[in-house]
Structure 1
Amino acid sequence: MEPTLDTYKLSCELFGHSLDVRAVAAGSVTPEGQIILSGSRDKSTKLWKPIGNEYIESLTLKDHKNFISYIYFHTAEQWICTASNDATICIYKQDGFLPLLTLKGHESTVCALSEGLKPRSLISGSWDKTARVWTIGETGEATTVSLKGHEAAVWAVATLKTEQKYVTGGADKCIYYWNEKGEKLRLLKGHTDCVRGLIGLEANTLLSCGNDGVLNFWNEEGECVRKLAGHTNYIYAMARNQALGDQVVVSCGEDSTLRMWNVITGDELGEPILHPGISVWSVACLLNGDIVTGCSDGVVRVFSKDPARQASEANRKAFDLAVATRKSQINEEIGGVKKTDLPGPEALLANGTREGQTKMVRHLDGSVKCYSWELGKWNLVGDVMGASGGTQVTSGKNLYEGKEYDFVFNVDISDTAPPIKLPYNHGEDPWLAAQAFIHKNDLPQAYLEQVANFIVKNSKSGPVVMSQAPSGHQDPFTGGSRYVPGSTSTNVATPGNADPFTGSSSYSTSASNTSSSVDVNFVRAGDKHFPVNNYRTFDTCDATKVLEKLKEFNKKLTPSDGQVGDELLLAVIKLTDQSPVVDLTALEALTILLKWPPGQVFPVIDILRLAVRNEAIFSILTNSHNILGIVIPHLSGAAANQLMVVRCLANSLTHHTGRKQVESELPKIIELISGIRAGSANLQIAMATFYLNLTISQTLGVAKSEVCYMVTAGVVELLKWAKDLEACYRSMQAIGNLTTTPCGQETIAQVISVDYVMDKLRELTNTPQGENFSKLNTVGQALLAAF
């Protein structure tokens, strides 16, 4: 009788990881049984040794700088091989505390590993679009062969020893065959989404799986002769269960399930095993037939068909209860959206993209809670209970964030991001709705007229006001409004994104009378405006566009001007990644490029503003090259250079070393920044953020009267000409911060009066775009109260 998954029951649950278990593998065999290996988003790898029917944590490895993405046990060499988001592979001996060797060469996350064709060899796949074959000598030296051909991340690798070939699968939906020299032999196409897993089978056949939710069986001719369908979402991993026969494979994925298949007949063997977590990231099979899974709830689970190894009735009931809760969530909706489509608590690990961003998170107890990104962290707003007024169908209107609207438009801000919802009701002031939309989504103020006219046109609320494209350069590097230093052209295209490197500069809208947004109903606590205790940073970057700009400028230079080879450009671009690892080659390349002429140096300074977020990098650049001394003079130069330097200074204030160095140069910096009397909204926001971060350093440490005085004077000078409302808001926050320190209060009393604050607020709120800026009004009133 053919085995089925119905005979498998929970054997045990292994608790120890604090975050998602992204990888599991079967380790070496001991007299007590087979060891289990697990790797997690918590950056650790754990070894679990069998003790009876249980497993105990025997060793924790913590040598990676970022999350573990894959584990492979090299049976021939008895190596534990771990791959990580830090772009490295660590190789350990069984029970070894430290790596025998760390393989470096990939430029991004290593996400797949398998044994190589030769002894002491491995093949790895990476987000850098390549696979690498590593051959490791007896003395520890490693040689590599790079397999290049995929157009996107290589998610899966496999070794076909009988054919002496390698196979890779990637996010480009393609599967390639290679020889050991790295030459491409065959291309297979059949998946409609990313290929995530590969297994070589008998008779030169192949099994693949992917984000399209199917397993494809390929014959020796490279034809897809069978599709195994059953998963309802991404399939992340597969494993052969050879204890049950060569034809039995198990798979797991984003639909919370573990499934078993006969790959020859294409039949699913039994009912799937549902997990309490949303993502079953990885699966492995032990020699005794037991199945191990790693899940997004941070738990490693073992399932067995042997009653002697199955968990106690109490433990199985607890697991069944958790699964029952999960089942109820699968069909449960809130505001017309399934709860299971909402992210789990792991979504709170990622930083927000803008102040005030909200995120709904599904918790394991079945509740859905709303969080708001404020002052550098996710704050709980409340439980999401569903909207009053029924569903979108029963209400006859579009539901968005707990309210009914006549329209919920889709607005495409970027080609790489989903549309943003713009709600609107008949009779509402289009300019009010447009301003609220811009403020909520942290968009450039220059969009106001265009968004308002879009609302007017698509809601048929009145005549369309044709807008004239604003003069000046909106976006230094992207799209039609491409920045050319020194240009005086006023032929400016539609404004691009607020940050120079955030992708497409296109702005398009798509009207829709339907909304897929979740309708929610919660009560939000009042906003706190100061003291602000979390530093603001400029983090957004499109490394591809940075590199394009560097190459463009480099071609225009001569060797005497500082022209360099492409290898230096590729090296310096690595600093756009916020990696904890200090790359000395990249830093050296950066210092060379900073010597470029003023007209070409601004993208280099922009890379610098990303690099200086790392305190170790800042320290090296300061001690070896006096980095502030190099960039500060550019504050009196071109507008693009001013913007990049101010952002760089603002980011430098986020750590102790940066604050110490900036304060040592503060009189000169304030003098130069105060000398800027005009500039774009981006520059205004950068200046205000620099001042705000300075005041945070005073509120969190021992405030210095001389620093408070210089900051106050600088803010006053900025407010004399700044018109951007976000810049003014941050400037008011900076003043408010100083009111919370004794020496700051004393300084403000000397420089700023209540009348000054009132006059400035009156000036701002009398402008069309300011009359609806409730955030600025609120902080202004709080500031007046502080006086």
Structure 2
Amino acid sequence: MADYKLSRSLKSHSSDVRGVVFPKEDLIVSVSRDRTLRVWKPLPGSAESKLGIEWSSDISYESTKYLNSIAWLGDKDLIASSGLDPTITVASLSSQSSINYVLKGHEGNVCALHYNDDVLISGSWDKNAIVWQEKSIKYILRGHEQAVWAVLALSKNSFLTGSADKTIRLWQGDSQVSIFKGHTDVVRSLALIGDNKFASASNDGSIRIWNFHGENILELYGHSSFIYSVAYLPSTDEIISSGEDRTVRVWKNGECTQTIYHPCNSVWTVAVNSKTGDIVTGSSDSVVRVFSRSKSRWASQDELAKFEEEVASYAISTSEVGNISKDKLQGPEALSNPGTKIGQVLMIKTPLSSVDAYQWSGDQWVKVGEVVSAVGNQQKQLYKGKEYDYVFDVDVKEGAPPLKLPFNATENPYDAARRFLEANELPLEYLDETAKFIEKNASGIELGPQSAPVANDPYGSRYVPSNSTASTYPVATRKKQSIFSQKSYLSFKSINVAAINKKVREINETKNLQTALSASELSDIASLLPLADSGWIEDAAHKLTIISLKIVDLWLPQERLSALDILRVTVPLLSDANLVNSTTVSLLSSSINNSYQNNTAMVLRLLVNLFESDIGQAVISQLDVREKILDISREFALPTLSKIASIALSTLLLNYSVLTIKDKDLELAFSIIGVITEFLAVVNDPEAAYRLLIAFGTVISVDSPEVVEAGKSLDGSKAVKVVQSKFINEKRIKEVSENILYVLK
């Protein structure tokens, strides 16, 4: 049987593709973190259009939050999608805004969907699965102890669910029939095999085949990291899987018969077309790819060569392949010897002392990437009966023998520093200094946990293959460092009284009787505004608010800046909740404009200042107002945003992050993480970038693994690395970035 080769690459999504279905030869549907559901169809009249050489993409539905799951309702010609919003949207495939109905019942991210026999089943971070028939809840399946990541409808009344609690459960109606145990980490995907077996995929790097009596018939190993998706191809009795090791793997009779590398970090999802046998994948590089065994559907030679080049040039982290000793690696001459089995990986030391990874395809070695950050062979050192990667000598007192500081590469440097200080009864004020000493002196290796599980983490730890030489000692729960979390709100209180007075009078002289301020109103501005420096009284704040609202209402947008500047400091002082609310809502509609970014900055500063009063917090916490603010934040999170507006927006998000921690509002946390990561990817001002990073770190310090998972799912690490590389000389950005990246590992 021929190997799969690339058939086509479909590029329209702007972020990770998290879900795909391939129900027909001429239909693919995908969902992405870019919040869109896209329908892919062959272009009429294109070359070999029946084979789908040229495909078009239309948005059938656009969500307000990222999408991660999809299900094809084949008998109804509808598509169900879900994501961070705890609802499920069922839409037709015709055109945008073609929503048929919305299903409401979950309380958290809906991360799994499956449809069969006229029922739809959904799984969620709320630990429940729900079975839907038509537009109503048929059953709520309660019993899992953590998020339900995988669901499978076997029939109208029989279901399978897989969870972050590492179990798979079989249900009849809403009654739990049996529990399947064996996986040692999160169960991420399920696939039915015939009538009496099913496959499960897990973060533990294994695929397990089960019968419905609870017996684990077979275990498949080959992936070197989390396995996110598994599918079954009945025509060839093959299992297809994909995962965090950037591969799709084809399994037959318990063996991996082909490994398809992708030029990206993660292959989030895989689906099959049962008629053609073709495979479709969705990846972290925003691309939907189709692979086929049929030569007539293969991409052109140029496209195939380009794809192979992209794969070969993609850098592989050492965390994927374990620690590597360059000195012991073979040179290019080893490639003249055939591999022992398909999928075998060989590390080769190049003449330039870099390390390349090759895979045996069955007839040749194919380069699949360059290994970066390769680590020299570390000799373990004994200290008090335990092995460590390092045992540092630390001089604490002149004339006294040095103290021993043991450290493993899999530890957080701050955990090791804390342990050292406590063991030697030294002040914790030295925590930062000691941790930085560790980081500096262990800089030759990759710091942070890679192989050991994190205590009490229901989402599991990164899988390391069994031949890795990485340390497997337990590590402490990740602690947020001293910069996290931000506990107080920031504000913009200073105001240039003289400049505002002057500008208002200049513009007022150009106005007619209907739009000009009266003499008494000008006098009030001149006499009351200086109170900003000597202490406000509410009556003054109220008068200035009314005058400023008149300016906003009657003057041109380019003439409103001074009034908005006044409102920025007066509105948060008001005790009239109705006036605060109406002013806020009005300004959100009338004075936010990309053409007048200084106006936008002043309104954003007003929103920032509202956090300092109870009434202001109540207004901006209202769901409709909050959603409007977050929508505006997404709209203006652009690389073209001015410095003043960028700092205002980043401070607004920072204050929302503080509110998240104080109220333990997970829904707000999920929402602002999305905005923060989008803005981080494009921000161009270092101060704004720093405030965004503090906001991000504050949000993910909330006591919830789901929030950390959301940070990972929304490409948080990638966005942080973009900022880190953009402001490479900013020490404060480097330090905060490293903290966040550690938490998101």
Report the TM-score range of the alignment, normalised by the length of the smaller protein. Answer: 0.3 to 0.5
Relative to the length of structure 1, the TM-score reads 0.45
Relative to the length of structure 2, the TM-score reads 0.48
